[in-house]
Amino acid sequence: MLFIPKKSKFKKYQKGKAYNRINSKILFNQLNFGSIGLKALYFTHLTSKQILTLYKSLKKVIKKKGKIKFNVFPHSPISKKPNEIRMGKGKGNINHWVFKIKPGFVLCEIETATLQLALRAIKYAQIKLPIKTKIILN
């Protein structure tokens, strides 16, 4: 069960602009839902496998004692040509899906009765992620 879109407008997409130079307003830079959250500190990609690992690690600790809100979903497909294939002959097939992250983006938020449980879950999930993150409180 990986996070991938059910359907997209086009089969393959171009890379687009360098996402570290995009100067747009960040909508998810503060907590909107929960009392504790996880904020990214620099530009990167998160693959659907990494997002699924984040989801499972939070669910493992929280169980049914709280609610989790995710602000990430992989929308951008990344294509790759197979190994030992000559150059040319068009673009490769879709290999995996990613979500492009900007610094200050809140990845997930947790709302629980006890702040201690939420903090333990966030720290456990922080270890699983390949990016530097910061814990923010409301």
Asked whether the predicted pLDDT for residue 49 surpasses 90, the reply is yes
Show me where the domains of the chain are located: 37-79+90-137
Q: What is the pLDDT of residue 27?
A: 64
Could you say which architecture CATH assigns to the domain 37-79+90-137?
Alpha-Beta Complex (3.90)
For residue 82, CA distances in Å to 76, 79, 90, 93 come to 19, 10, 12, 8
Computed over every residue of the chain, the mean pLDDT equals: 89
Nearest by Cα to 138 from 102, 112, 120, 103: 112
**What was the pLDDT predicted at 20?**
54
**pTM of the predicted model, to two decimals?**
0.86
What pLDDT sits at residue 25? 57
Q: Is the pLDDT of residue 26 over 70?
A: no
pLDDT of 19 over the 60 cut: no
Secondary structure of 7-68 in HEC code, one letter for each residue: CCCCCCCCCCCCCCCCCCCCCCCCCCCCCEEEEECCCEEEEHHHHHHHHHHHHHHHCCCEEE
pLDDT tens digits, one per residue of 50-89: 999 999 999 999 999 999 999 999 999 999 999 999 999 9
The more confident residue out of 1 and 66 is: 66
pLDDT number for residue 60: 95
One-letter amino acid at 91 equals: K
